[in-house]
Structure 1
Amino acid sequence: MTKGVTIIICTYNGAERLGKTIEYIAQQSLTDIPWEVILVDNASTDNSSATGQSEWDKYELSHVSFRLISEPKPGKLYALQKAIQAARYEYLITCDDDNWLAPDYAKRIYDTFELTPEVAAIGGRGIPVTEGKPLPDWFKDYEVVYAVGPQAKKHGIMPVRSILWGAGLSTRKSVYLEMYKTFPSFLIEHDTDIIFAEDTEYCLRLILKGYRLFYDAGLVYHHFIADYKLDVKRRDAYLGRFKDANVVLRKYYAAMRAKLKTKGRPDIWFLLLIITPFNYIFSFSRKRAEKARNTLFHMLPFGIKSDPISTRIKEFIKE
Structure 2
Amino acid sequence: MKNGMTIIICTHNGAARLSQTIIHITQQVVSPSIHWEVILADNGSSDDTIATAETIWNANCPENIPFRIIKEPKPGKLYALQKAIQKAEYEFLIICDDDNWLAPDYIEKAYNILHTMPEVAAAGGRGIPATDASELPDWFAAHSQDYATGPQADKNGILKPGSRLWGAGLVTRRSVYLNMYKNYQSFLEESEVNILSAEDTEYCLRLTLKGYKLYYDDRLVYQHFIGAHKLNTEFRDQLVKGFRDSDAILLKYYVAIKVHVDTGRSFNRTKLLLAMPFRLLFAFSKRRTEKARNILFHLLPFDIPTDDISKRIKAFIQND
TM-score by length of 1: 0.98
Partner of 2:234: 233
Distance 1:312 1:230 in 2: 38
Worse-superposed segment, 75-84 or 232-241:
232-241
SS at match of 1:16: coil
SS at match of 1:218: strand
Contact preservation (8 Å) 1:145, 1:239? yes
Partner of 2:22: 22
Tell me which stretches of 4 or more aligned residues in structure 1 moved more than 3 Å: none
Distance 1:280 1:170 in 2: 40
Deviations along 1:265-306, whole A, 9 cap, x unmatched? 223212211222212121111111111111111111111111
Distance 1:120 1:291 in 2: 28
Deviations along 1:11-43, whole A, 9 cap, x unmatched? 111101101000100011123211000001111
Contact preservation (8 Å) 2:161, 2:262? no
Distance 1:76 1:7 in 2: 15
Deviations along 1:138-189, whole A, 9 cap, x unmatched? 1111111100000011111111221111000010000001000100001113
Partner of 1:152: 153
SS at match of 1:260: helix
Partner of 1:127: 128
1:109-188 to 2 correspondences below 5 Å: 109-188=110-189
Worse-superposed segment, 197-206 or 152-161:
152-161
Distance 1:290 1:160 in 2: 22
SS at match of 1:69: strand
Which letter maps to 1:64?
Answer: I
Asked if 1:295 corresponds to 2:320, the answer is: no
Distance 2:238 2:95 in 1: 23
SS at match of 1:193: coil
Distance 2:227 2:305 in 1: 47
Which letter maps to 1:2?
Answer: K
Contact preservation (8 Å) 2:156, 2:216? yes
Which letter maps to 2:48?
Answer: N
Contact preservation (8 Å) 2:94, 2:171? yes
Contact preservation (8 Å) 1:261, 1:268? no
Deviation at 1:192, TM superposition (A): 6.4
RMSD, aligned α-carbons: 1.0
Distance 1:224 1:4 in 2: 27
Partner of 2:5: 5
1:187-226 to 2 correspondences below 5 Å: 187-191=188-192, 193-226=194-227
Distance 1:112 1:237 in 2: 35
Which letter maps to 1:180?
Answer: Y
Distance 1:253 1:121 in 2: 18
Partner of 1:69: 70
Deviations along 1:186-244, whole A, 9 cap, x unmatched? 11133462212000000000000000001011110000000111111111101111111
SS at match of 2:60: coil
Deviations along 1:33-73, whole A, 9 cap, x unmatched? 11000001111111111101110001243310000111101
Contact preservation (8 Å) 2:31, 2:108? no
Distance 2:133 2:39 in 1: 30
Partner of 2:253: 252
Identity of aligned residues (%): 56
Contact preservation (8 Å) 2:126, 2:149? yes
Partner of 2:284: 284
Paired residues, number? 318
Gaps of 5+ in 1: none
Partner of 2:81: 80
Gaps of 5+ in 2: none
Contact preservation (8 Å) 1:121, 1:214? yes
Distance 1:133 1:280 in 2: 52
Deviation at 1:98, TM superposition (A): 0.4
Asked if 1:53 corresponds to 2:85, the answer is: no
Which letter maps to 2:76?
Answer: G
Distance 2:193 2:46 in 1: 21
